[in-house]
Amino acid sequence: MTNLISDFDVILADLDGVVYEGTAAIRDAVDSIARLQATHRLGFVTNNSSRKPETIVEQLAGFGVSAEPEDVVSSGQSGVELLATLVPAGSKVLVVGGDGLRFYVAEAGFEVVASAEDSAAAVIQGFAPDVSWRNLAEASFAIQNGAKWVATNQDWTLPQERGMAPGNGTLVSAVHTAVGQLPLVAGKPEPAIFETAVRRFNAKRPLFIGDRIDTDIVGANRAGIPSVLVLTGVSRAKEALAAKPGERPTFIIETLAGLFEGYQQPKQTKRGFKLGSAEVELLGNRVVVVSGDPKSVETLRCACAVIWNSGVAIYALDVDPELYE
């Protein structure tokens, strides 16, 4: 039995919720990344646009992860590529976000401004912890004056050591409420950032690893890249069970250590699916754990297979609460 990664030449991984959570490394992540780098080309694809790749590399080094700036593909870089298709080179761009995003915009030859009174041709909006009401107001005024609007991502939440915090999507939503229109989005789940990563790493058989179904898995699916949902970040068992067809990962693992294990998909039985000692059945409209630990990733894979193959919407099924509570 081969391990999960043996059929792929390039591994692409998210950062927040996969490698680290705030200022803490996630369990099994550091050792697993070192093992990956010994056999595969590894690139990091992140919706975090607030920091330069050099800053991200410094943070990874603090966890004991070796990386180079060119190993990082950020939504800020994709956002600037999108800007270049909307406004002429040298245009004034109002930047809402961190130093990393301002760096990307300036590096691309645009003039960085901070006020709508500077006659900005475009607004690019990314996340930074110090983004204020005034920043959002200036962006809103510029957009109402005709500026093009690009958002680096729409992540609703941001994993932190103390829990979930509001992400860039909440800030984008605030501006949307003021201006009555939606931005063009550069980062996950849009395919552009995945396509940028595939080109940069010359990937022929890429695999993407992420913790969020709504951005990581949906984006990989849209880009036609097999995906791994790792249950260390935002999306957990409950979200996996409820995933719609376009949201479903190819593989599900508990931590990154699962990349090196012999991966097996559940096998269909008369009334459900079985994997090792785990077995889940569909009895009428009830999804029932017949055997195995309800909290194990093997049982979760079986339950997902049962629900995803049932042809019935999750809200019409009575799912054993032990699978997701």
- What is the mean predicted confidence (pLDDT) over 8-18? 97
pLDDT in tens, 98-115: 999 999 999 999 999 999
Catalytic residue annotation: 14, 16
**CATH superfamily label, 76-185:** HAD superfamily/HAD-like (3.40.50.1000)
Domain boundaries, the chain: 10-47+189-260, 76-185, 267-323
pLDDT in tens, 209-255: 999 999 999 999 999 999 999 999 999 999 999 999 999 999 999 99
pLDDT band at 257 (very low <50, low <70, confident <90, very high): very high
pLDDT surpassing 70 at residue 91? yes
Quote the pLDDT of residue 45: 98
CATH classification (class only), 10-47+189-260: alpha beta
Q: Tell me the C-alpha distance between 152 and 147, whole Å.
A: 16
Beta-strand ranges (E) seen in the chain are 10-13, 20-21, 24-25, 41-46, 72-74, 92-96, 111-113, 122-125, 148-151, 157-160, 163-166, 184-185, 206-210, 227-230, 251-253, 267-268, 272-275, 278-283, 286-291, 318-319
- What is the mean predicted confidence (pLDDT) over 142-163? 93
Quote the pLDDT of residue 159: 80
Question: Same CATH topology for 10-47+189-260 and 76-185?
Answer: yes
